[in-house]
């Protein structure tokens, strides 16, 4: 056995060495190898046959494309060899086909070429003949004569040629022999022949061995046991109605469907006429597809009938009667193709990414379509959507190339998912769909584009440095670096300076900034170009024109052109005849404003004039005209101040002074013109005089303060002496009139603390009034101010001071109301805190009261030495000689009216009120007048 295996390996090696290779005229390469070669076995030198060296082969993309079968072969790119990738069983792939061919393609992507490879698989003796059964049983009647033939089962050997079944052998036996015959199809049939009569009584059963052998190397064989049972007589064998049964069925016939029915007859009767059907010769694959009913002879489908697997099925059937006699027939069943196979799509991508600039006709992928159906069922139509910029071109057989049909644009479509649809021509048609994703690579084929070709922006003048002026935006539909935009300003000259000294641009954002402050009066617009350039290679760019308008602001005051300001400081002089009528044009003020628009709208107005109503000026013309006729009283020289104002916000202005001389002719005023030219503004002398006057008044006020301070010191010393040298009037009898105590208290209540000035009737200086007695507290000082005495009362004031020096301190805790204060009955507006009388008449009344009191006191002292008074019945100190109801318990609500009970010297009337009432306004007024007259007489 080991020797046979060694011999078998030598034959494989020999076949391996004798592989023949040739190139067909169609570009095909043919290789021959035996079956059952081990994995990795050498098939052919592809590198040599394709004229590729191993270096080119290793760097190229080489791919094996198999159509609808396993990939039995593979490539070694380092050596360029084609080798077996999987063990190949010829009988399984090609069955009984005499020539077994395996076809596949080799794609060399760099060269864009297909090479069809055809590998022929030769047969080796790897299968032994085999019988369908392990044991055969024949029943032969003993009376069967010599020469009777019994059909033996055919042995199966899937090998071909000498490796297939070649001979049968029967074990030695004197009763039986073996007859082998060859049919028209070349198949050998073996029959068992009875040589001599059998005797059941001698031997009932015989054991025979049938051997089937091939002529392969090594020789293989198979055996089957034959058991012969000797029985009684059976005269007739079954007979088929025909020797060949044929049928054609669709491959998609349902399981259990009937294909055909065999028919055999036997003229015997009884058990010898009962026929049994069975397969005499059938392959294993066919036996799994068809079923034979042994009783009815009906052949039905029990497995999957596949046209693509096997188009023809052949078998032999046998009909045998009960006595063991049999006959045979041949059955041929053809499978008809049904459109039951969907087309298969195999995509071999050459590129998964292509540039958008790829020219039309560029091959992207190779597509192979395989439909296992036959005829029109296997004819296919391959298509892609018409809207895509691609097309399918059929190259050969069922191969298509996917090519670009028109220019690609990544900016419109960045990637495609190409749908490939295949449809066969069968009924009903079957189709298949495959998808091929393709990414479009970007190229820098789009320059940056602005929305418009020019832009206009505005900015106000006097802007700050670094202010954002505008932002430009360009769009580039390209990808990544090709779409990254850089902005720049094309530098030009603006006047004598470069544009780059005024403007700057952010290269990435496109924002333009001011590098300096713009002046509308220098330039009103800036025109420049901005360049947008992408980052591609080569870079693409586009320009846009930008107009930057400078907006005016009111930053320029009006400039007066006429009359121009003289350089010597004088004003302009215009002449106006005395005979000018109203509306006469004297002159015209001409002014300009460097601004524009409403900022340059000028208006004129007469700000100041010597004679306000003499001249008028046009609001918008600046014309100075006479408003009336000139009068003789009008000054010869008229000074006019004209204000020129613009209409900006805020408005700016300028002024000019014009001197208009009223004269009929120039010679008449030549002497005046020299003074006019040298005359300065009159306000300058007036200012000087005002300064002098303020200085004088300040000095006078300072002197007045010194005098006032000296007077205050003198009065302070006087008051000290008054307190130390007070006169005691205790021994003086109280008069029926006002007593000394009342006068003293009155004087202390109205202590003069004022100073007199000249023209006291026109002006008064008010000072705080406080008590001059030592009994008053500091906080009782009043904040009120009272009027000062006039000069003509100065003598009375001196007498008052003398009387005050002789008075004693009195209780000053009481105050006088308005009705109780000294003065005439008609005097009002007194102060609640006891101020000095506020008019001349009250002062004169007070003087009269003092004199009358003094006289009355002297007379009372002489007439009544005991000190008793006739008024009020004994007045005590501090009651000022009033009645007993004005005693020490007297309060602020009971203030005596010193205008009552006053004696006026030289008068026959006595002002008295015994009942203490004050009801005589007329009397009081009359007394006052008399006192005033007496005072004048005394003066």
Task: Give the pLDDT confidence of 77-112 residue by residue, as tens digits.
Answer: 788 888 898 888 888 888 778 788 888 888 777 777
Residues shown for the chain: 939
- Does the structure show a pLDDT above 90 at 432? yes
pLDDT at residue 182, rounded to an integer? 83
Token couple for 752: 């003069």
Q: The tokens 């298969």 sit on which residue?
A: 344
Average pLDDT over residues 507-526: 90
pLDDT at residue 825, rounded to an integer? 36
DSSP state of 552: P
pLDDT at residue 403, rounded to an integer? 92
Helices (H), 636-682: 670-678
Instruction: Give the Cα separation of 158 and 130 in Å (integer).
Output: 10
Task: Give the pLDDT confidence of 230-239 residue by residue, as tens digits.
Answer: 876 666 788 9
The more confident residue out of 416 and 495 is 416
pLDDT at residue 449, rounded to an integer? 92
Q: Is the dihedral of CA 304, 305, 310, 315 positive or negative?
A: positive
- Does the structure show a pLDDT above 60 at 673? no
| C-beta of residue 644 within 8 angstroms of C-beta of residue 624 | no
pLDDT at residue 853, rounded to an integer? 53
What's the whole-number average pLDDT of the chain? 75
pLDDT at residue 58, rounded to an integer? 64
H or E element in which residue 43 lies: strand 42-45
Average pLDDT over residues 332-350: 91
| C-beta of residue 491 within 8 angstroms of C-beta of residue 526 | no
pLDDT at residue 189, rounded to an integer? 82
Task: Label residue 507 by pLDDT band (50, 70, 90).
Answer: very high
Average pLDDT over residues 759-776: 37
Task: Label residue 8 by pLDDT band (50, 70, 90).
Answer: very low
Instruction: Give the Cα separation of 587 and 581 in Å (integer).
Output: 14
Task: Label residue 269 by pLDDT band (50, 70, 90).
Answer: confident
Question: Helix (H, G, I), strand (E, B), or coil: what is residue 886?
Answer: helix
How far does CA 18 lie from the centroid of its chain?
Answer: 77
Highest mean pLDDT among 86-95, 538-547, 746-755: 538-547
Radius of gyration of the chain (CA): 77
Return the beta strands (E) in 236-362 as ranges. 239-240, 244-250, 258-261, 264-265, 276-281, 290-292, 298-301, 312-320, 326-336, 344-349, 353-355
Task: Label residue 450 by pLDDT band (50, 70, 90).
Answer: very high
The angle, 0 to 180 degrees and rounded to 10, between the axes of the packed helices 740-749 and 840-863 is 150
Token couple for 699: 């000095």
pLDDT at residue 436, rounded to an integer? 93
- Count of beta carbons in the 10 Å neighbourhood of residue 715: 16
Average pLDDT over residues 131-144: 85
- Paired sense of beta strands 449-450 and 474-475, if any: antiparallel
Token couple for 533: 């350039």
Token couple for 642: 């004209």
Task: Label residue 634 by pLDDT band (50, 70, 90).
Answer: confident
Nearest alpha carbon to residue 321 among 271, 357, 262:
271
pLDDT at residue 830, rounded to an integer? 41
Between CA 682 and CA 693, with CA 687 as vertex, the angle to 5 degrees is: 135
The more confident residue out of 470 and 829 is 470
pLDDT at residue 415, rounded to an integer? 92
pLDDT at residue 810, rounded to an integer? 40
Q: The tokens 């042994």 sit on which residue?
A: 294
Q: Sheet of 399-404: strands edge to edge? A: 344-349, 363-370, 399-404, 390-394
Helices (H), 284-355: 284-287
Question: Helix (H, G, I), strand (E, B), or coil: what is residue 928?
Answer: helix
pLDDT at residue 70, rounded to an integer? 77
Between CA 62 and CA 65, with CA 63 as vertex, the angle to 5 degrees is: 150
pLDDT at residue 420, rounded to an integer? 94
In this prediction, what percent of the chain has a pLDDT beyond 90? 31
pLDDT at residue 597, rounded to an integer? 86
Task: Label residue 900 by pLDDT band (50, 70, 90).
Answer: very low
The more confident residue out of 123 and 292 is 292
- Does the structure show a pLDDT above 70 at 397? yes
Task: Give the pLDDT confidence of 140-187 residue by residue, as tens digits.
Answer: 877 888 888 888 888 888 888 888 888 888 998 888 999 988 877 777
H or E element in which residue 3 lies: helix 2-17
The more confident residue out of 858 and 179 is 179
pLDDT at residue 907, rounded to an integer? 41
Instruction: State how far the alpha carbon of 364 is from the alpha carbons of 14, 201, 294, 901, in Å.
Output: 44, 87, 61, 145
pLDDT at residue 752, rounded to an integer? 42
- Does the structure show a pLDDT above 50 at 763? no
pLDDT at residue 177, rounded to an integer? 92
Highest mean pLDDT among 160-169, 523-532, 840-849, 870-879: 523-532
Task: Give the pLDDT confidence of 688-704 residue by residue, as tens digits.
Answer: 888 899 999 999 999 99
Task: Give the pLDDT confidence of 551-604 residue by residue, as tens digits.
Answer: 988 988 999 998 887 665 556 688 889 888 999 999 999 999 988 888 889 999
| C-beta of residue 606 within 8 angstroms of C-beta of residue 644 | no
pLDDT at residue 298, rounded to an integer? 95
């Amino acid at each position: 056995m080991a020797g046979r295996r060694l011999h078998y390996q030598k034959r494989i090696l020999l076949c391996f060495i004798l592989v023949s290779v040739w190139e067909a005229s169609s570009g095909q390469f043919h290789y021959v190898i035996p079956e059952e070669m081990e994995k990795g076995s050498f098939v052919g030198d592809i590198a040599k046959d394709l004229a590729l060296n191993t270096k080119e082969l290793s760097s190229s993309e080489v791919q094996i494309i198999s159509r609808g079968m396993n990939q039995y072969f593979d490539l070694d790119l380092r050596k360029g060899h084609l080798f077996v990738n999987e063990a190949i069983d010829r009988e399984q792939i090609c069955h009984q086909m005499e020539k077994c061919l395996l076809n596949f393609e080799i794609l060399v992507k760099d060269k864009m070429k297909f090479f069809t490879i055809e590998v022929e698989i030769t047969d080796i003796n790897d299968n032994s003949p085999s019988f369908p059964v392990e044991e055969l049983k024949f029943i032969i009647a003993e009376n069967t004569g010599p020469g009777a033939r019994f059909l033996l089962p055919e042995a199966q050997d899937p090998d071909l040629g000498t490796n297939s079944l070649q001979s049968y052998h029967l074990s030695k036996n004197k009763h039986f022999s073996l007859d082998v015959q060859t049919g028209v199809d070349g198949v050998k049939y073996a029959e068992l022949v009875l040589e001599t009569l059998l005797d059941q009584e001698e031997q009932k059963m015989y054991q025979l061995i049938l051997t089937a052998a091939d002529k392969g190397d090594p020789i293989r064989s198979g055996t089957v046991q034959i058991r012969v049972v000797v029985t009684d007589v059976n005269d007739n064998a079954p007979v088929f109605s025909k020797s060949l049964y044929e049928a054609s069925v669709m491959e998609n016939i349902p399981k259990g469907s009937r294909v055909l029915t065999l028919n055999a007859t036997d003229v015997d009767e009884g058990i010898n006429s009962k026929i049994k059907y069975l397969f005499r010769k059938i392959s294993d694959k066919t036996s799994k597809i068809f079923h034979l009913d042994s009783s009815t002879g009906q052949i039905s489908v029990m497995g999957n009938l596949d046209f693509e697997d096997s188009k023809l099925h052949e078998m032999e059937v046998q009909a045998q009667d009960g006595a063991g006699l049999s006959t045979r027939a041949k059955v041929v069943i053809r499978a008809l193709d049904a459109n039951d196979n969907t087309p298969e799509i195999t995509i071999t991508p050459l590129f998964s990414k292509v540039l958008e600039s790829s020219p039309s006709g560029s091959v992207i992928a190779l597509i192979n379509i395989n439909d296992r159906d036959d005829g029109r069922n296997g004819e296919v139509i391959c298509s892609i959507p018409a809207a895509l910029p691609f097309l399918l071109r059929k190259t050969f057989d069922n191969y298509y190339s996917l090519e670009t049909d028109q220019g690609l644009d990544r900016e419109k479509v960045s990637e495609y998912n190409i749908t490939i649809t295949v449809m066969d021509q069968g009924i009903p048609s079957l189709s298949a769909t495959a998808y091929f994703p393709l990414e479009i690579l970007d190229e820098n084929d789009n320059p940056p584009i602005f929305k418009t070709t020019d832009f206009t922006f505005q900015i106000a003048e006097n802007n700050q440095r670094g202010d954002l002026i505008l932002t430009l935006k360009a769009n580039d539909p390209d990808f990544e670096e090709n779409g990254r935009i850089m902005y720049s300003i094309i530098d030009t000259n603006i006047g004598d300076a470069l544009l780059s000294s005024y403007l700057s641009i952010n290269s990435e954002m496109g924002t333009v900034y001011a590098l300096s402050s713009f002046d509308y009066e220098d330039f009103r617009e800036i025109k420049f170009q901005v360049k947008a350039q992408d980052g591609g290679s080569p870079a693409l760019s586009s320009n846009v024109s930008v107009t930057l308008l400078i907006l005016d602001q009111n930053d320029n005051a009006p400039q007066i052109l006429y009359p121009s300001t003289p350089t010597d400081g004088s004003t302009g002089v215009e002449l106006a005849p005395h005979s000018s009528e109203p509306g006469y044009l004297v002159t015209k003020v001409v002014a300009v404003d460097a601004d524009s628009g409403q900022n340059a709208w000028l208006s004129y107005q007469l700000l100041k004039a010597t004679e306000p109503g003499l001249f008028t000026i046009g609001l918008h013309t600046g014309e100075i005209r006479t408003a009336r006729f000139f009068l003789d009283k009008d000054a010869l020289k008229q000074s006019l101040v004209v204000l020129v104002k613009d209409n900006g916000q805020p408005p700016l202005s300028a002024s000019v002074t014009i001197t208009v001389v009223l004269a009929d002719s120039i010679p008449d005023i030549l002497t005046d013109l020299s003074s006019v030219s040298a005359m300065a503004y009159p306000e300058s002398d007036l200012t000087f005089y005002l300064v002098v006057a303020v200085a004088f008044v300040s000095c006078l006020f300072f002197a007045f303060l010194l005098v006032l301070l000296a007077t205050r010191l003198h009065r302070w010393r006087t008051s000290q002496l008054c307190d130390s040298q007070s006169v005691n009037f205790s021994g003086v009898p109280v008069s029926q009139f006002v007593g000394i105590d009342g006068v003293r208290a009155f004087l202390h209540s109205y202590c003069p603390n004022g100073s007199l000035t000249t023209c006291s009737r026109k002006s008064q200086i008010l000072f705080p009034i406080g008590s001059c007695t030592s009994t008053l507290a500091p906080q009782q000082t009043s904040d009120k101010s009272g009027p000062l005495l006039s000069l003509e009362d100065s003598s009375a004031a001196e007498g008052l001071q003398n009387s005050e020096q002789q008075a004693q301190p009195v209780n000053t805790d009481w105050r006088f109301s308005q009705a109780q204060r000294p003065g005439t009955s008609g005097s009002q507006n007194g102060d609640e805190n006891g101020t000095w009388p506020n008019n001349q008449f009250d002062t004169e009344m007070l003087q009269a009261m003092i004199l009358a009191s003094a006289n009355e006191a002297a007379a009372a002292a002489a007439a009544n030495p005991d000190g008793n008074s006739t008024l009020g019945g004994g007045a005590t100190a501090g009651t000022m000689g009033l009645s007993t109801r004005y005693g020490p318990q007297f309060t602020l609500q009971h203030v005596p009216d010193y205008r009552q009970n006053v004696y006026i010297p030289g008068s026959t009337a006595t002002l008295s009120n015994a009942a203490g009432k004050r009801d005589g306004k007329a009397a009081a007024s009359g007394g006052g007048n008399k006192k005033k007259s007496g005072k004048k007489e005394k003066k």
